Structure 1
Amino acid sequence: MYLIDSIRESVSNFKIKDSTLIANAHFNIGELFRYSHKGDSAYYHYHQAQKIFKIQNEDYKLAKTLYGLAVILKNEKDLTASELVSIQAISILEDLKQTNEVRETKAFLFNNLGLVFSELEQYKESIEYSKQAISLKETLKGDYSLSIYNSKNNLARSYKMAGQYELALQYYTELLEDRELIKTKPDTYALILDNYAHTLYLSKQFNELPDLYFKALHIADSVNPKGYNSILINQHLAEFYKDKKNIDLAKYYATEAKNISAQYHNDQLLSSLLLLSEIETGDKAVNYLHSYIKLSDSLQKNERELRNKFARIQYETEQIERENVQIAKERMWLFVISVSLIITSFLLYLVITQRNKNRQLQLIQKQQEANEEIYNLMLSQNEKIEEARALEKKRISQELHDGVLGRLFGTRLSLDSLNFNNTPEAVQTRSQYIDELKNIEQDIRKVSHELNTDFVSGAGFIDIIKTFVETQTIIYKLDYKLDHDSVINWDELPNKTKIHIYRIVQESLHNIHKHANATRVDISFTLKNNVICLTIEDDGSGFDNTKSKAGIGLKNIKSRINDINGTLEFKSEINKGTQLIIEAPIT
């Protein structure tokens, strides 16, 4: 029982995921209970193993489990159920590869069917199944001699019970001729010898009786004194002496059979009580008969209760299984609903996030459009200012040229006319005034010429760039250097090109602040072959050109360069900064 308790405890410790181990444990416990003649406990564990093996499609193990159930049902006199379970197991084995193990189990099932039909007194079917069991066992690899002896003994018994005594004696004789049997399995030999003697008795061949009975009883008692085989032998001796009218010996052996059977099996106790009721007379016979009837009723009641218990075990197990199935379905639906909610929430999150991103991008786009509009207004205002400055310079130039210079020229002519006064003082004075007027005239002409020259033309864009760079580098805490070629005529560039250059500088400074961890930036504008070259270089952390993925800022820069038919080149190394080189054609 300790071993059974240990295995049962191990079952409770197994995880559900290891179903095969659980089924094997149930099967092993069922086997132990079967050999311990605890039918209800064996039935429960066999039934548990059967369900799991069926789910796991373990057909061979399922068939072996059904064999155990069939034996239990036969032992508990539920013969019809035992027959059905045995046939079910054989049907499963028929579809499997016919290995030695499969054929062995099939042979045991045929043997069980032989015993079932023998109990049902359907001896023709019993003989047929016993023959099939023997035929299969004789083909098995290994030592199955004892199992074959048992099957032949069962076959001979069926022949005996069917009244075919010659065939029964033929099989018994064949078994008894094996002299190794009495050495290896004396208890089996004693049982066969008793059946042989009983067949002789039934066929009215009394020459060797009762000596064969005594020999069988002696062998049985030498192996297991007062054992189960002794019950049958004592019963047969009682029948023999009853038939011979030796009532005292008949009573003696019948009483021995009753006393021994009281310790073992109720069926044999029932047979012993019936035999004593037939041997005894008067009140004793009546008492034995009453005991027989009472025991018979009790056995029938126990058999019904046991069958009901089997049915209840099966019903409760199936009910638990149905509940488990329902729980599994509920869990599955809960899982499906949970997953659906999670997926729906995730999709909703993606939609909301994408909408926010779209709104943010739209806002950025609108900001860019507003910045471009502001910049265009700045350029337009700057052009208007420059135009007003030019007009004002032209007006002043014209005013100086046409007004002041004209009057001065007239004054100079007047002074020249007074030059006819030839006194030395007058001549000297006039000459001084005339020279002074000439000087004034030259100065005014020079101013007029300088005012009429547009020497600041195109300087507005660089001023905007310089102001922006100064502002941003202060915010970003960067040192900067801004160089530009004075020969670049920014007025020749379309506003679109200047806007893109302005935005590229803006985006570059933003990226340097955000990603480069730089302390200084150098910006230069040069003119080469009618192409403006913009170089932006920082002393930041740099990056690997071959591995880094372009962000939105870099993509925007590339898009702007493509829009003005320019080129873009990056030079960067880890911890050595980054250099951005842009070439934009003027036309």
Structure 2
Amino acid sequence: MDIISIRKILICITLCYSFLCIGQESISIQLDSAIDSLDANPNYSYSVLSKISRDKEQQDSIKSKAKLYLGSYFNSIGVVDSSMYYTRASLIHLRNKKHLAQAYRLLGSSFRRSGNMDEAIEMLYRSLKISEEIDYIEMITKVKSDFGILNANNENYDKSIQFFEESNAATTDKKIISSNYINIGAVYFRKKDYDNAEKFFLKAYEMIPPNTSPKASATLALNIGDVLHENKKYEEALAYFNDSKKIADLHGFKDKSINAIVHKSKAIAALGKPQEAINLLNNSLAPAKLISNLEIQKNIYENLTNIYTSIDDYKSANLALNNFHTLKDSISDSRQKKTITELEVKYETATKEKEILLLKEDQLSSEAEIKRQRLLRRFYIIGFIIVLIPIIGLLLVYYQKLQVKTKYNAQKEEINRQKTASFLNEQELKLANTYVIAQNEERNRIARELHDSIGGNIAAIKLQMINIEKDKKTQATIIDQLDNTYQQVREISHNLIPKKINQTAFANYIREYIDTIEKVTDPDITFIPHPIEKINTINDNQKVEIFRIIQELMTNALKHAKARVIEICLNAYNDSIEIIFEDDGIGFDSKKETNGIGLENIKKRLTLLKAKIDIDSAINRGTAIRIEIPIVLNDKK
């Protein structure tokens, strides 16, 4: 069995298991989507959550989660009975402690709204206990805030403030902290401690930017103004009322804008400008009626009554008071209608719940059968997985063995390839070295022949010609020609094999050559050999080639580069010799001009030595050449 076959089997097994789980994953996605949409699209969330909670095929844990968030939905719209029903139903199968903490907090909120404070406290304490056990910080802060609100409603103001402060201490969430500051400010306002109320309202106001939470900022500015007004700081109160109106106007909150004017009129009247306050209130009546806000209209008439009374205009005060009571009765009627409507909704909900309970009783037998079938299906799945796991394990072991074997064979092939390449490189290096040795020996032979035979013969002829006394002019000419020829033969002989290269330390030999060049040329030439001891032990044949390369580089630099500074580094390593030649001359385009005679000669020598060359040059930027030559051991002792 090959690797591809094993992969196909594993893919098939994975697909089979995926088909078994895909239905469950789809419901989970729908549930999470409904939960995320509770605030933005509550109707959609209610529809999905209701469907999942009634689906008999779903697991109890999923249905319980759906019921929990149905309870949250009904709590958000103020239908307390339905909220309590679904939340209690969810508690039967909830096992996740975070969900349990959330459920008990939801029950506490429902009991508080229904006026059952003792039950509310008990549920909130249960939620707090579970949250502290699992370090559920978000829920701890919310429950402590709930305790603060509960105690504030019961007029336990000091305890209320303590809970709000504990909630803030447990979180870094700015939204929760600012909300708690508002609640603390409201508690101090009820206690008539206006300085502290102002302090905490201002803290909250600083944390709520008007551009991100304009409605909250407008309301909070109004609250701060009310506190300052009660504290008789009328000018400061007026400033905050103006801020509230400005934010409301900017973001189109008409009700809040008119409300800010109503509050502003109280501050203006307190500053001794009753007529200005009356004008403001009368001008705000039309916009209030336009948006059909009875509560604001009632407040306008109430303020008009108070201001007219303060200036002894009892006729206008009486008219405003009559309008106030008319609106108050209208509001009362509206509230009664709303209460009746809510009661009807609650009654209809309770009736539907009773019908659901009756239907559930009728379907108990069929549910038992469904549960039995579900249990059997689970047993089949578990059995299938139990059989599947050893098979997958064996396939994985076999697959790993194949991988190890494949890697071993690949490594073995790579090692053999490297050994072959190394052997070929070694043979090529030996061959090149042999060629260099043979070349140098042939040069030595030619140099000796030129020097010993031809040079000796010319020298003898020269001596004989000196003895000829006749024809002095011809004699002198022949002697000069022979002398020139003799000097040329000596020069060719010395160029073929440098005179001192085998007799002088190599580093000193190169330095003497450079000193000689430096005396008759302009550039400042620096030669840096390292380490000198190792350089002096370089193979004799390689010494000749290295010297010729340095000569060629120097000739090119002096002839073409117009350099002021030349630096030559000769470094000997364990397995290579490095020549670095740099000058600050006019440089050349290394991409175009790399085929000059000098460079071609150097490259031919380097090819024989199996060496590498790197050239870095650019116009008006100088030249840097690096040559790396594999080292050859010196056979001479």
User: TM-score range, shorter-chain basis?
Assistant: 0.3 to 0.5
Larger Rg: 1
Q: TM-score, normalised by structure 1?
A: 0.45
Q: TM-score, normalised by structure 2?
A: 0.41
